[in-house]
Structure 1
């Protein structure tokens, strides 16, 4: 009997780090390559805004006025928008890698698939964020308003002078909200601390308010970001199975890969042919013979071996009695 060791249980950092870097590089490069026509991006943004007004879900209007009128709210919100997206997400990836390796691959795959789906959204639907619309629509770019307090300029969350390295018309879907939802799921499902679970619920809600209050996204952008994460979650497990099949095809590995040494079974030693041989004691007799519960075939063997010896001793005693009688006569 052999033990089958679980394959690929713990990921290796020297394979994970380049993979994450490649996916993030594709995401960043794709944002730059699919900037699209500015006018079409503005048209898409206005269409989203009109749809929200029709259903009275344009929550970004009152939130933006709140953030604009109160610097004590707007400035921390700008810092959160510019930093947490790029700090907390990789920090939780590292934490999963080190502390929850059994769950790391699926959570990492979920995040990557969702990010690539978001890139498709940027490609097919370039969208002007509220802050870049004409001032007549009632939005104020809080990051531009409070730019002297942080490292960013007027180009979204990019540092001053690096605005050309970002695509400002990649508003639909909001991956700020999508990644925050992923972080919340990690904290809720894989942390044991109560405060972490509370943070797992509060963080995505807070980011949703921030992206609208800073006029970087519409409410429907945030909803689309959550939808993208839902699709990515559903595709993560099939994607892992597919990559496992591809890896097995090229490496020749199988799920039934055998490791370790043969195990000793209770009734004997298992041979390579799958048959069990009885164990023997130092004296050469079968182990367990004569003990309570020993197999019947061993008991029968002992009995059949003892009967001939008893008969031989009886015959020898009869011969000696005959000799003594003859000598007396």
Structure 2
């Protein structure tokens, strides 16, 4: 079972985490994230301008890695098809599996890990809202990018609109490219595997999974290199916010529990207070019903056993003098 931890340490805050409370919380946050992406579609022309602007910045910094990778994925199906499956599925499979693994095997760290992932995801949603960005695959053909998801759509369940299943392209925001949460979530998974994995394979996966994901998002023309960098930055900011978020959550929980505890007193106390208000005297129900049994004697309910009074301690010298006087008096009387 999940372990207990002390508040403010990033653990369970002294509470036992239950999957039937954690799962709805994660699903609600993901539903809000998905709905927020749809609401933050923005203007298409603005998104295109942002995409072209990113390409110009990368060209100035000599960081344009998307074009050669995209040509490689386009010309070689044995690379492009697995990359499309990687992009379309692992983002939604590996992250939940890592969450479940941390919950079951490392519950003391789960609360902090969950807070990190959720905080970073919400920060990414802010980025989608403020900076709608056209991905490389949706730019005009003059920029030289090919949508590999559309090129190899016959191999998978997706169509020509990102990784959404055929006919459901309208349910996704194709201009939510900056930052890349594919890279951000993959980085989170890598950190969890590195910190908590024990086998060499886990260490290799911790490094390989985010690295390959970064290559895949660029090779499939779904993200720019700077999108990947922004995804890593978002995860860094989310990590810095973990402790403040946990402290805020603890304060909110404490304020919620206090009114509930006051509003739900025990049944015995309620019955006793009602009886006392009617008769003007304490009710028997407000007295503890337990009795004391000792040395074959039983007290009645509510009876108090008086304790013997304790004599004050006398100084040792005065006590010795009194003993001597008593001895002299006894000797005189015997004479």
With the shorter chain as reference, the TM-score category is: 0.7 to 0.9
Structure 2 match to 1:221 = 227
Structure 2 match to 1:236 = 242
Structure 1 match to 2:79 = 73
Task: In structure 2, list runs of 5 or more residues that go unmatched.
Answer: 7-12, 260-314
Cα distance in 2 for residues equivalent to 1:114 and 1:174: 11
Structure 2 match to 1:154 = 160
Structure 1 match to 2:175 = 169
Cα distance in 1 for residues equivalent to 2:5 and 2:150: 57
Cα distance in 1 for residues equivalent to 2:200 and 2:108: 22
Distance 1:53 1:145, change over 3 A: same
Residue 9 of structure 1: how far off its partner (Å): 4.3
Structure 2 match to 1:20 = 26
Residue 191, structure 1, aligned to residue 203, structure 2: no
Structure 1 match to 2:214 = 208
Structure 1 match to 2:252 = 246
Structure 2 match to 1:144 = 150
Residue 203 of structure 1: how far off its partner (Å): 0.7
TM-score computed with the length of structure 2 as normaliser: 0.74
Instruction: Kindly indicate whether the alpha-carbon contact (under 8 Å) linking 2:5 and 2:15 is maintained by their aligned counterparts in 1.
Output: no
Task: In structure 1, list runs of 5 or more residues that go unmatched.
Answer: 254-299, 323-329
Cα distance in 1 for residues equivalent to 2:14 and 2:50: 45
Cα distance in 2 for residues equivalent to 1:96 and 1:252: 30
- Structure of higher CA gyration radius: 1
Cα distance in 2 for residues equivalent to 1:14 and 1:196: 28
- Equivalent positions of 1:317-328 (< 5 A) are none
Residue 53, structure 1, aligned to residue 59, structure 2: yes
Instruction: Kindly indicate whether the alpha-carbon contact (under 8 Å) linking 1:10 and 1:102 is maintained by their aligned counterparts in 2.
Output: no
Identify the match of residue 93 of structure 2 among 67, 76, 87.
87
Instruction: Kindly indicate whether the alpha-carbon contact (under 8 Å) linking 2:5 and 2:108 is maintained by their aligned counterparts in 1.
Output: no
Structure 2 match to 1:265 = none
Instruction: Kindly indicate whether the alpha-carbon contact (under 8 Å) linking 2:95 and 2:189 is maintained by their aligned counterparts in 1.
Output: yes
Cα distance in 2 for residues equivalent to 1:10 and 1:208: 36
Residue 55 of structure 1: how far off its partner (Å): 1.1
Distance 1:252 1:5, change over 3 A: farther
Structure 1 residue ranges (4+ consecutive) displaced by more than 2 angstroms after TM superposition:
4-10
Count how many residue pairs are aligned between Structure 1 and Structure 2: 271
Cα distance in 1 for residues equivalent to 2:75 and 2:17: 48
Cα distance in 1 for residues equivalent to 2:59 and 2:69: 15
Instruction: Kindly indicate whether the alpha-carbon contact (under 8 Å) linking 1:45 and 1:129 is maintained by their aligned counterparts in 2.
Output: yes
Residue 13 of structure 1: how far off its partner (Å): 1.7
TM-score computed with the length of structure 1 as normaliser: 0.76
Instruction: Kindly indicate whether the alpha-carbon contact (under 8 Å) linking 1:67 and 1:73 is maintained by their aligned counterparts in 2.
Output: yes
**CA-atom RMSD, angstroms?**
2.6
Residue 14 of structure 1: how far off its partner (Å): 2.3
Cα distance in 2 for residues equivalent to 1:194 and 1:233: 25
* Structure ranking higher on relative contact order (CA contacts 8 Å, 6+ apart): 1
Cα distance in 2 for residues equivalent to 1:246 and 1:29: 25
